[in-house]
Amino acid sequence: MRESPPASLRSLLRNVIRAALAEDVGAGDISSRASLPPRVFAHAEIAARQDGVVAGIRVARAVFRALDRRITFRPLVTEGASVRAGRALIRLAGPLYALLAGERVALNFLARLSGIATLTRLFVRAARPFRVTILDTRKTTPLLRALEKNAVLAGGGRNHRFGLYDAVLLKDNHIAAAGSLSSAVSRARRKLGAVPIEVEAQNLGEVKEALAARVDTIMLDNFPRHDLVRAMNLIGKRARVEISGRVNLSNVRRLARLRPDFISVGALTHSAPAFDVSMEILSTRR
């Protein structure tokens, strides 16, 4: 399982932030231009309005710096920090127009990424007593995958594969198209050599087939609990085990008690609630 984005986060940030600012600011903030005097300098603070885990500080910094290099940006917490409601997260100073122009884009990124980190931390805490690793999935927002997977890391989880290009995972459609699980594994080995192979098993028969094929990791996908227990007993230490499918905060601890190596949770990135965060102008001067 990977631990860091495959491409330059700096390059990704530049492209995503350029698009986000074009979407929100466009040709300029007409409300600020119409109501504010020119050349006003301001101090501002971004604060949490709920308890949770912070992620996306680097993204917020890049938003404001893209608008005006004169803005000073001082984080008051580190990425992955647990905070209480009311905690100041970031202090800013710079041209008021640029601060207001960047406010919503920066807060949107902070809300999305901190929400992912906060939800991830809850899953990690539930699984920690059983030494089970919580993984994310590819169920991410298009074009924001590296940012969202970085937020999973901030919450204490780990990253599964980043895309179709960096790990072999043979799923139900591969197996059906190849004719069998064994055929899919055999063909993958002939073409790729000695690379780690993970397969998705749908039933106990496919678990036995995966063991016979000597795969490295078996994903037990949407197994009923009684079959999960039987599958874990069959596998033993002969392969790593990943449990997947309909995992939530109500059942993750029960699944972790079975002591798989990994539990993958699509909800970390496709269903995380936004973290409540706000920016307030503290003072202005001309």
User: Which residue in the list 138, 139, 208, 240 is annotated as catalytic?
Assistant: 139
List, in order, residues 6 or more apart from 82 with CB less than 8 Å away.
Answer: 51, 52, 53, 121
Residue where the block lists tokens 């406010």: 103
User: Which residue in the list 103, 200, 206, 242 is annotated as catalytic?
Assistant: 200
User: Which residue in the list 148, 206, 221, 242 is annotated as catalytic?
Assistant: 221
DSSP assignment letter at 273:
P
User: Which residue in the list 171, 230, 240, 253 is annotated as catalytic?
Assistant: 171
Residue where the block lists tokens 């029960």: 254
Task: Kindly give the interhelix angle for 96-127 and 145-154, rounded to the nearest 10 degrees.
Answer: 60
CA torsion, points 143, 149, 150, 154, in degrees to nearest 10?
150
Q: Confirm whether 33 is a catalytic residue.
A: no
DSSP assignment letter at 158:
B
β-strands 262-264, 240-244: how paired?
parallel
User: Which residue in the list 104, 187, 208, 240 is annotated as catalytic?
Assistant: 104
> Cβ(226)–Cβ(207) under 8 Å?
no
Q: Confirm whether 198 is a catalytic residue.
A: no
Residue where the block lists tokens 């600011």: 25
Can you read off the two tokens belonging to residue 281? Answer: 């102008």
Task: Kindly give the interhelix angle for 96-127 and 57-67, rounded to the nearest 10 degrees.
Answer: 170
Q: Confirm whether 200 is a catalytic residue.
A: yes
> What are the residue numbers of the active site?
104, 139, 171, 200, 221
